[in-house]
Structure 1
């Protein structure tokens, strides 16, 4: 969920809060099986959007993702995105989410629906 305020005709700024869950599974390696646990994050971020044209926007969310699952300390959260307005109240977004963890990264590619309230 992102709440944005209009700073100028072409720039919005605000805050973002979300929840991410990845389901684990058991993988058979041929030499035995490996159990991958579920992982959950609660990202809290500042958000910015630039209106490139009337229909297209680009932006980024930057902040920290709190680790919720056991053994998950969280990490730096970043989410660059592009958006396309379908109407005054509805749009599509394509984004890449990254969380820099101690010892690696957790990343996803996302397609979403944006709604203005």
Structure 2
């Protein structure tokens, strides 16, 4: 899986250089985790993102995306035998292909698809890594306030065989052309 994602990223990078530069964007968002791995609850999340997009035509941009995200683990009472269960924080760095479709000057739809590498090395009671990273997808809907600033709503999903993380996010992006 990692080799396929890396191959896709390299192919996109080489093909993207044939088009005009659309720009470098940075942004941040706050998230509200939803439907995560059984028994592992997160209370709040944030992410910082960077995209470098190339213009294919006036309506479509493609490029590379990365960043950093963190979800804060929650604590809850399991029972008198087990006591409190503390979910460790989950930290990840995505490497993804980014695509944006400009409906008009104000509305933007897009997605980031790639792999999220886990920075966390948490283990469960059986000494298994349950934060290994995994397939990363991030569909988004944005509203351009002007040529430099954008408000957006996005969803982050990260999954592998044993772990699933998802969050709904509210974000702000700055275009640094």
TM above 0.5, yes or no, is yes
**Could you tell me which residue of structure 2 aligns to residue 108 of structure 1?**
167
Are 1:46 and 2:97 an aligned pair? yes
SS at match of 2:57: coil
TM norm structure 1: 0.94
Select 1:77's aligned residue among 113, 126, 136. Answer: 136
**C-alpha offsets along residues 58-92 of structure 1, whole Å, 9 cap, x if unaligned?**
01100000011113211000000011010111111
Are 1:7 and 2:62 an aligned pair? no
Aligned mates of 1:22, 1:104 — CA distance in 2: 14
Going by fraction, where is helix more abundant, 1 or 2? 2
In structure 2, list runs of 5 or more residues that go unmatched. 1-49, 122-128
Structure of greater Rg: 2
Select 1:55's aligned residue among 89, 102, 106. Answer: 106
TM norm structure 2: 0.63
**C-alpha offsets along residues 32-56 of structure 1, whole Å, 9 cap, x if unaligned?**
2111111111111000000012210
Which runs of structure 1 show a deviation greater than 4 angstroms over 4 or more consecutive aligned residues? none
In structure 1, list runs of 5 or more residues that go unmatched. none
The higher relative CO (CA closer than 8 Å, separation ≥ 6) is in 2
CA RMSD of aligned residues (A): 1.2
Q: CA deviation at 1:103?
A: 2.0
Aligned mates of 1:3, 1:44 — CA distance in 2: 12
Q: How many residues align?
A: 117
Deviates more, 1:99-108 or 1:62-71: 99-108
